[in-house]
Structure 1
């Protein structure tokens, strides 16, 4: 390119010396072209045979040919009655290969480089590719990666390109320091961030990989955290990142200015639209006077008001929150202004940057399309939805003027990120009888870039083997409703609490319909078969009772049901605020053997008791009932409860029991209810990057209601069981893990207790 630039300047100097007079030529001759057709070259020349031209036209033609990127050198000269255009073609790329890469596969590297097979070879493009590959390695925790490029000439003007990569050792983050924070400790602020310092689990979680985009996202998370807790003037003053070559670690220092803490003052809804009645809108306001200022509540109120106003037929109305600070009293008076906005229409929505996710997956998160009235609140809502999907590293929505003054173009820039996970885990569990377990799971949240959810998992232990598959299409028939299915196979062998061998298999088809952003309903059909294949030979003295309680053979349950869910939970992996309520009912008897109605309800309330110390309170309650329709409820259809609801008890540890000759066995019950009070807090002494938290709790509940044959030695009581204890919670790379230590306070003599319990997985 440097040689071409010198040649271009030389021609300009020659042209400058030519007498500025008009000339004509009878023909245009192209020389030096090998692969590019001569007529293609002539199309970029602005000079036409028989028409006068001068130095300006020659200059314009040379620029146009260079701009194509097809030529390394261009000369134009007049020879006799002809105009001779001499070109030197750029080489064409043959193949593009990567050598030395092990941590990052070829497929990932290929998406970054702009040099492609059969494309034009350009030194500027090669230099850019080297920098892009280095940046990719830097984002994946290898800042020391070195990249060089090698070109290998081949026949017919083709050149192979080889990127030689030395990946280097893995970098990390030695410390993250905050300066200027007073209301919240540095430990509390680091918990808000997704980037973590290097620890013994970093090789699995890879959360210690430094990335400018992730750091900027974390700065935004910190800002939103402060804004949710009353600090309306908060700002990040500076962020300093230093790299220590000797330690191969980054050091991050974030300087903040917290400002004062505010509360909501007077709150009102005002409108400049004469025919709009604002009185009904007041019930949608979530920012109540006297409460600590919370920007999230301002956003929710703005969206709720905007939807209500649009529903009234005011297509161009906009809702703007205006906060007037009272610096002396540290209050903010909120006024939600409803105005008739400019009559702007969406000309088009452009999606940029997505290399994997399909365009329609992104477009469907917008509550507007081409030709609709433009509304900024709906744009902000779409941006938040796209970020919450977890498909993208970054999401940025901007606008630019359209083809006419009343049109606007929406530009949505995204950057895809990995959405799949493969997990292999093992350990010892006290659930389901205890023993060693192993699990292998594959999860993809954005299957084939279509926004679909797919999970396959296989697990097993000493007495159980399970296979699960789940698939969900979140936008069925192009509408905001989900369609999915679940499949299950379980092989259960006899244990101390289960005197039979049983195989279970079944599936569920579900259709979900959102009512609001927080409330949805799901309809389902379930088909399940259980095969009780045998009893343990050591239980021969109880065979008569087992034949009534756990009869051998196959039974099929076919049911339809629904599930209502209301949730404002902020984070399902690590909840700290919000309400979760789920009511479900199943009606069995649509064919099959079972005929009953099963009803359950689960409710939880999380609240940050001390946000500055990350202390969280939890109130949890649940209840259930199963009622036979014209027949008794089979024992194996009963509810079974234990340490998962009242810690301090074994699995199947409380509720109705059959007292056998040598032992007793759980028969469950048709009714249950339970409640929990819990306080969670960061574990002292341990570094916060370990992700360890502690908890203290109190549980209480009961399970009762044997609905079967009389004459057996059955123990069944509705008395309250209770326990207290403490827990260690670890948000590990394998998922949430929890160890509970509990002491039963009240119990029946036949209940089975257990001091220690280990469990894994989310609670929702």
Structure 2
């Protein structure tokens, strides 16, 4: 290529920036140019990498509402700890400092502190340790609440009363800038659906400095009539263009609305396909045209993990793979193989979140579970099955799913257990589920509500006929945000009813273990004459849990503790001669939780408080997997 001094300086700076982002802030890059005949040059970059620089300590000045430990969990920069050699999260990068300040602003603004600001940021290097000390001086200000919330429109024929159901802010609530931003998006989308495509929504907050309240008004005005001329996408080396474009509610030729563009940017970031997403605009070919430029930086989207654990069923090992952007098409593919002392599991799952180009998910699951005879289930069982599913989002929080499932149960070596006779049985079912969630973070929840109601109707072919209904509800709330203490209330229940036939033992609910901790797998519920658990047609379970940070450990370790109380019961069966004790079972205990890359890992220590005579208890249980 053509050599210029400007290009040389640009390349030198790029190399310098790369080393800076990698934690080698002290690296030096010196270009050396040697002239050759025929107007040619040799360029050599002499690099002295230096040692990797990290963050030694982070401190805050002016924080009263939240502790330094809590604020450290909010920002991007992380200080050095025992795991830094492994995860490299303590790397110092000046680019993170701006991200830290924005994260602090968003956190405080989402918790009522409308006057919050970062007064100053200082970072000093300690040559003896090779690490930086970062200090943020902040001014919190008072905590505000909404006094009134109203909608005012200057556009004729806008029915403001019809817009009130989408409001996420209520009088008396703590001021929340995030809720205001989401409400603006929801109002903009709703107005567009009503035909007001150029409507713009902006908030006006009138502060009462004495009462520390804000009177909030959403102002609706007619915006400029500007159209999208073109959407350019750069940097996507793996992800297909259409995967990015489909996250926009507007396409080329549609009216331009900045709120919808910001919404698309947040959606793209939430996909977790990209390290960064930046959307900018430039004038188009005419005054009423605008060009949108989308710049993304790809990141790894595949995960490979190996897990080992132990529970009452014995030793367990699992090998799993998950690719959330399969072939750059935005599809998810996962597979796992598990091996235990008395069980082997195999699974394959595929999901397309945009089936046939529409915002609805479709996918399939294939699995096989092989169980060998052991004390609680003295027979061999192999279950092979699969299913198809289709999910339709009604709103951002509400989803409806339809599914079809087909499975084959093969029971053998059950001569001493008449409740589980030898033979093969097909089960074919149609089902649906309604899911509602306002959980803030599915991997590490702090607040929100989750609810799911599901029904399966077996008898669409196959050998069994029944209706199975289940409900699962959870409520998370920060009890003391400063100390990162989170409360959890959970309730679940289920019923299975045979259609013209008894419900066989294999189709019953089996509980214990993780549902009511302190009890073994298959540890509660009806038992046959041989003392074998045969499950029940009805169950209910409730949990109250308090989660908290582990003392003396930095938040980025991901380790937390919990104390809990569980209660519930499993009862009613069609198996002849079986016990039917609906005694309330209860337990209390403590847990250690780790938010690992493969999901939540938890060790539970529980003591049963009330139980039936035939129940089997256990003190320790290890479990792994996703929470939702």
Structure-2-length-normalised TM-score: 0.93
CA drift of 1:333 comes to: 0.9
CA drift of 1:531 comes to: 1.9
CA root-mean-square deviation: 2.8
2:203 is aligned to 321
2:589 is aligned to 725
Match for residue 425 of structure 1 among 303, 307, 310: 307
- Cα 1:159–1:564 change in 2 (3 A) is farther
Say if 2:612 is the partner of 1:748.
Answer: yes
1:574 is aligned to 444
Structure 1 residues not aligned, in runs of 5+: 1-68, 73-121, 536-542
2:215 is aligned to 333
- Cα 1:578–1:130 change in 2 (3 A) is same
1:46 is aligned to none
Say if 2:520 is the partner of 1:638.
Answer: no
The answer as to whether partners of 2:25 and 2:93 remain within 8 angstroms in 1 is: no
Moved more, 728-737 or 644-653: 728-737
1:265 is aligned to 147
CA drift of 1:451 comes to: 1.5
The answer as to whether partners of 1:725 and 1:740 remain within 8 angstroms in 2 is: yes
1:132 is aligned to 14
- Cα 1:243–1:440 change in 2 (3 A) is farther
SS in 2 for 1:658: coil
The CA distance in 1 between the partners of 2:466 and 2:13, in whole Å, is 66
CA drift of 1:296 comes to: 1.9
The answer as to whether partners of 1:194 and 1:207 remain within 8 angstroms in 2 is: no
SS in 1 for 2:527: strand
Which runs of structure 2 are paired with 1:427-506 in the superposition (5 Å)? Answer: 428-430=309-311, 433-506=312-385
- Cα 1:265–1:552 change in 2 (3 A) is same
- Cα 1:239–1:447 change in 2 (3 A) is farther
CA drift of 1:579 comes to: 0.7
CA drift of 1:134 comes to: 5.0
- Cα 1:255–1:727 change in 2 (3 A) is same
- Cα 1:419–1:157 change in 2 (3 A) is farther
- Cα 1:563–1:365 change in 2 (3 A) is same
Match for residue 309 of structure 1 among 171, 175, 191: 191
Match for residue 758 of structure 1 among 614, 619, 622: 622
The CA distance in 1 between the partners of 2:27 and 2:323, in whole Å, is 29
Match for residue 175 of structure 1 among 42, 57, 68: 57
1:605 is aligned to 475
2:550 is aligned to 683
- Cα 1:238–1:456 change in 2 (3 A) is farther
Q: Deviation per CA, 1:630-685, whole angstroms, max 9, x where unpaired?
A: 2222211111111211111111111112242xxx3211111111111112122233
The answer as to whether partners of 2:600 and 2:627 remain within 8 angstroms in 1 is: no
The structure whose residues are more often helix, as a share, is 1
- Cα 1:597–1:345 change in 2 (3 A) is same
Which runs of structure 2 are paired with 1:301-700 in the superposition (5 Å)? Answer: 301-426=183-308, 428-430=309-311, 433-535=312-414, 543-544=415-416, 546=417, 548-660=418-530, 664-700=531-567
The CA distance in 2 between the partners of 1:692 and 1:730, in whole Å, is 5
The CA distance in 1 between the partners of 2:386 and 2:35, in whole Å, is 59
The CA distance in 1 between the partners of 2:528 and 2:41, in whole Å, is 81
The answer as to whether partners of 1:201 and 1:733 remain within 8 angstroms in 2 is: no
- Cα 1:727–1:318 change in 2 (3 A) is same
Moved more, 623-632 or 524-533: 524-533
The answer as to whether partners of 2:347 and 2:367 remain within 8 angstroms in 1 is: yes
The CA distance in 2 between the partners of 1:492 and 1:211, in whole Å, is 51
- Cα 1:659–1:414 change in 2 (3 A) is same
Q: Deviation per CA, 1:717-749, whole angstroms, max 9, x where unpaired?
A: 122111122222222455322122222121100
User: What count of residue pairs does the alignment treat as equivalent?
Assistant: 628
SS in 2 for 1:667: coil
The answer as to whether partners of 2:497 and 2:537 remain within 8 angstroms in 1 is: yes
Q: Deviation per CA, 1:358-384, whole angstroms, max 9, x where unpaired?
A: 222111111001111111221221121
The answer as to whether partners of 1:264 and 1:333 remain within 8 angstroms in 2 is: yes
SS in 1 for 2:513: coil
CA drift of 1:151 comes to: 10
